[in-house]
Amino acid sequence: MKFTAIAAIATAAALSLGMAASASASPLSPRSAAAPQVTGTRLQSALLPASAFGSGFTAADRLSTGKKLWSTRARFKPSNLSCKNFELYSYVGGFGDTAGATDNINNPDPAFADYPSLVLGADQAVIQFKTAKAATSFYNQAYARYKQCSDFTESYPGDSTTLELTTQTLAKTTIKKDKAFQLVQYVTIDSLASLTFYESTAVVLAGTNVYTVGDLDGTNDPISASLLGNFINRVQALYKHH
């Protein structure tokens, strides 16, 4: 998940690095689309409901690229971002994608008595590219960056809390016959030093889209294939009328 303590900062970072960076870029002409495309606003409508992640969970920091398709000019690459910025912040644009949407899922009342069956929060994102080749390139870059960021320590922006993320497993797999990888990281949070947490992240390449779902909880289980499948189905349904 994109930690709730930095949720507001994450939104600002996504705006400044993604949306603001591409604000001057001209939208795509419909004739230039090599595959069916929808806007960020439409992608946002297909994000999973907060209830899919847990009872009583709420969605926050909803962000999309808006009502127009974006230029395919890439403003930055995963390799150009620090491990902190790549892993702890949400991005919906700027990687050469034409549209994107994301949000954080908060657990407003975590029951620590249920630990380790405790989910502190989650996040989800989908970014759409003009071609499958472009989506594949970004997917491969994301895998390489997660592999490089095997151990790093960062402080919450505007907070004295420090966290360390250490890769436990990084495995390639398939979800609905689509290429995917599952990452599980051991997370040390100094303000919760007595408890062990894990950051689980799944990234799926499906056609011209790349999907990312993550959560922070007390177990090292990978992201549910069923949850990912539902997410993909909801987005793919947007293209039926194109």
**Spans of all domains in the chain:** 4-239
Mean pLDDT is lowest, of 80-84, 140-144, 178-182, for: 80-84
Return the pLDDT at 17. Answer: 39
What would the mean pLDDT of 71-76 be, rounded to a whole number?
A: 91
The CA distance from 167 to 171, in Å, is 11
pLDDT for res 11: 37
Block residue for tokens 């499948």: 229
- List the 151-155 sheet strands across, edge first: 58-64, 99-106, 119-128, 209-217, 197-206, 178-189, 162-175, 151-155
Alpha-carbon dihedral 106, 5, 19, 49, rounded to 10 degrees: 0
* pLDDT at 70 > cutoff 80: yes
Q: Among 2-16, 144-158, 175-189, where is mean pLDDT lowest? A: 2-16
Q: What is the pLDDT of residue 22?
A: 34
For range 96-124, the mean pLDDT = 92
With 0-12 / 13-18 / 19 or more C-beta atoms within 10 angstroms meaning exposed / middle / buried, residue 151 is exposed
Residue 225 corresponds to which tokens in the numbers above?
């294939």
Residue 167 has pLDDT above 90, yes or no: yes
pLDDT value of residue 2: 59
Cα–Cα distance measured from residue 186 to residue 154, given in angstroms and rounded to the nearest whole number:
14
Q: What pLDDT is recorded for position 6?
A: 32
Name the CATH topology of 4-239.
Protein Transport Mog1p; Chain A (3.40.1000)
For residue 151, name the pLDDT band (cuts at 50, 70, 90): very high
